[in-house]
Structure 1
Amino acid sequence: MTEQALFKGSERYIASPQLALAVNAAMHLQKPLLIKGEPGTGKTLLAEELAAALAAPLLRWQIKSTTKAQQGLYEYDAVSRLRDSQLGSDKVADIANYIKPGVLWRAFTADQRPVLLIDEIDKADIEFPNDLLHELDRMAFQVYETGELVEARQRPLVVITSNNEKELPDAFLRRCFFHYIEFPDAEQLKAIVDVHLPDIDQQLLDQALSAFFSVREFPDLKKKPSTSELIDWLRLLLAERVQAGQLALDEQALAELPLLGALIKTEQDQALLAQPLKRAMRSY
């Protein structure tokens, strides 16, 4: 597989050896790469950086709870055709005028092999992944209104992300190469921060990371802060000229961390962090 090892990360994206291996394995097998992990661990950015590294176009399909698989193939605008027929338009004679290609159609017919990102597939209905199986396997589909067969000129590199909000069907999983992005450890986070904030004071960074992990490890926290939220927090600390000593807090005082709203996004979690502090104040 050596000749297939095309992706090692980039200047903007620190990929672990395991993640780079997964990307290249999926490309070698010509299977969709299914990426899971906590929100903010770089799943979407991976597809963007893969496209940049390969100098390939990126086509993104952002999945919502209302998204249907058919929309990725094409949509037939029957309403516009009816309106045009009432107005006596010549367009009505050709039904192809009312067929709107979806992102899969554009990926299949692209002049250059694209990276196709199907982002947050777990947000859709449980049947959505199964509805895509046939098209992703055959790399072709039929336009029933016109009889046209749309076939892939070249197999796109498919990256599928999931936040684990719901389980995906076994039949779908069998057709993918899977990788779970583990949350970075302190050294990996330092490397990631160095990409975004290369001039940050190391003492401030060390104290910030210590406080950040203390927050993430706090019991019963509903939403743990992510890598992207850490970067935002560090940018704010620098903008406000916060000193390292202001972050040297123990668990009893995590609620007093400056600019905590960059890390903690719910009132329940902020109240939870304040509980040890309240207990300490009562005992005093």
Structure 2
Amino acid sequence: MSQRFEGTDNYVATDDLKVAVNAAIALQRPLLIKGEPGTGKTVLAEEVAKALGAPLITWHIKSTTKASQGLYEYDAVTRLRDSQLGDERVKDVTNYIKKGKLWEAFTSDVRPVLLIDEIDKADIEFPNDLLQELDRMEFFVYETGETIKAQVRPVIIITSNNEKELPDAFLRRCFFHYIRFPEAETMQSIVDVHYPGIKQKLVAEALRIFYDMRKVPGLKKKPSTSELLDWLKLLMVEDIDEAILKEKDPTKLIPPLHGALLKNEQDVHLFERLAFLARREGSGARPGQ
């Protein structure tokens, strides 16, 4: 099994991202990946697992997730009910222990990739509560008296959308990488990977509009890579020609199928207002008239 990540056929990884992944593997530290939504943070873990020939274990974090759930959960309520019903299962406490994602990763026969996805969604104490287990690669199960110790240290990838600041003690233990929003050249490569036969003139016009839209001040949510790919797919499905996109400034005329790019009414209204003002200026009306 290779232990170096060089990108895959389906994932365009920049050189600095490859360096970050391989540094985290070499240091045996969690790789903390930040970047705006839609820049491929979650997909990275899938592709690293594929490239290393490793199983992927995914722990999706929600606002209600507790760190202990990554270790295990003990269902005392069901055990009590079963004991009242005289169920034989109560004699074995392991029947009431649900293994968490860390337990799964620690007991894997081959080195897995463990993705802790969107860690900033959880309570501020969540990262600190995981520190000891991620450092020592072991934890104690009180109900059975056993210690679960990692057979092989998993490759750990942690993603964050920067919704909350993460504690310093946690950050010190991670190798950090920020996925910058792709430049036009990298974005072209990403598009080529997803749509190999797409017309390059259409891509050129679509990319121009896409990057112009991202520059508009006051946008609540800038369109991301995944939204650009959705938009291109729709342009192909609807057979929209590049001539329709050509020379259209998004601040003067909203592009076709913009619902793939703009995901809230404030942003749609912003572009409608800009287009309206541009039309007024074009018809000779001065602002304030």
TM-score range (shorter-chain normalised) is over 0.9
Unaligned runs of 5+ in 2: 284-289
Of residues 168, 171, 175, the one that matches 1:170 is 168
2: distance between equivalents of 1:157 and 1:27? 6
2: distance between equivalents of 1:128 and 1:104? 14
**CA displacement 1:96-131 (0-9 Å, x = unmatched):** 221111000010000111000000000000000000
The answer as to 2:235 corresponding to 1:233 is: no
2: distance between equivalents of 1:120 and 1:7? 22
Q: How does 1:109-148 map to 2 (within 5 A)?
A: 109-148=107-146
Of residues 205, 214, 217, the one that matches 2:215 is 217
After superposition, the Cα gap between the structure-2 partners of 1:5 and 1:114, relative to the gap in structure 1 and judged at 3 Å, is closer
The residue matched to 1:149 in structure 2 has which SS?
strand
For residue 92 of structure 1, report the CA deviation from its aligned partner.
1.0
Of residues 267, 274, 277, the one that matches 1:276 is 274
2: distance between equivalents of 1:254 and 1:143? 61
The code of the aligned residue for 1:250 comes to D
The answer as to 2:259 corresponding to 1:261 is: yes
State the match for 2:42 in structure 1.
44
For residue 145 of structure 1, report the CA deviation from its aligned partner.
1.2
**CA displacement 1:229-280 (0-9 Å, x = unmatched):** 100000000000101111120244242x110000001110001011221112
Kept in 1, the 8 Å contact 2:227–2:260? The answer is: yes
1: distance between equivalents of 2:278 and 2:56? 53
2: distance between equivalents of 1:190 and 1:30? 33
Residues matched between the structures, number = 280
Unaligned runs of 5+ in 1: none
Q: Compute the TM-score of the two structures, normalised by the length of structure 1.
A: 0.97
For residue 5 of structure 1, report the CA deviation from its aligned partner.
6.6
The code of the aligned residue for 1:78 comes to A
Of residues 92, 99, 102, the one that matches 1:101 is 99
**CA displacement 1:134-168 (0-9 Å, x = unmatched):** 00000000001111100000100000000000000
The residue matched to 1:253 in structure 2 has which SS?
coil
After superposition, the Cα gap between the structure-2 partners of 1:251 and 1:98, relative to the gap in structure 1 and judged at 3 Å, is closer
The answer as to 2:219 corresponding to 1:203 is: no
For residue 282 of structure 1, report the CA deviation from its aligned partner.
2.8
Structure 1: which 4+ aligned runs deviate by more than 2 Å? 251-254, 280-283
Kept in 2, the 8 Å contact 1:5–1:21? The answer is: no
The residue matched to 2:252 in structure 1 has which SS?
helix
**CA displacement 1:166-222 (0-9 Å, x = unmatched):** 000000000000000000011000000000001111111100000000111111100
2: distance between equivalents of 1:254 and 1:121? 39
What is the percent sequence identity of the aligned residues?
64
2: distance between equivalents of 1:147 and 1:121? 29
CA-based RMSD of the aligned residues comes to: 1.0
The code of the aligned residue for 1:138 comes to R
266-275 vs 162-171, which deviates more? 266-275
The code of the aligned residue for 1:62 comes to H
The code of the aligned residue for 1:133 comes to L
Q: Compute the TM-score of the two structures, normalised by the length of structure 2.
A: 0.95
State the match for 2:153 in structure 1.
155
2: distance between equivalents of 1:105 and 1:276? 53
State the match for 1:29 in structure 2.
27
